[in-house]
Amino acid sequence: MPQLIPTKLFLKDMEQYRSNTILRKKIVKALALLEANPLHPGLHLERITNDPSAWSARVDGCYRLSFDPGGYLPAGNPDWSSVLTLLRILDHDDLYKSPR
């Protein structure tokens, strides 16, 4: 089970959605899934192509969150049991333009 470490920018993004209780519940659910099993199919993990170390996970049909795996296995795959640094929560298009 990886430890989730939020960046200041991630916390700032969370603060923007403070009044949107439905979205906040979805974010909490996505974070719980990410912490319990980063490879859960409901997260729809994707590597972000313009940032080779960043990945994204689905929050809902519109929003995604980005994160960096803290370590890699010798074969080059992410070590999903290591720390995950949470980067941003944005709508799909904005996140893929600026994942950090």
Residue 41 lies in a domain: yes
User: Is residue 91 over pLDDT 90?
Assistant: yes
User: Is residue 20 over pLDDT 90?
Assistant: yes
Residue 76 lies in a domain: no
Q: What pLDDT digit, counting tens, does each position of 1-16 carry? A: 889 999 999 999 999 9
Residue 23 lies in a domain: yes
Q: Which domain holds residue 57?
A: 4-70+81-97
Distance of CA 51 to the CA centre of its chain: 14
Q: What pLDDT digit, counting tens, does each position of 29-52 carry? A: 999 999 999 999 999 999 998 888
Model's pTM, two decimal places?
Answer: 0.92
Identify the CATH number of the domain in which residue 59 sits.
3.30.2310.20
**Alpha-carbon span 4 to 34, nearest angstrom:** 8
Q: Give the strand order in the sheet containing 4-6.
A: 4-6, 84-91, 63-69, 55-58, 46-47
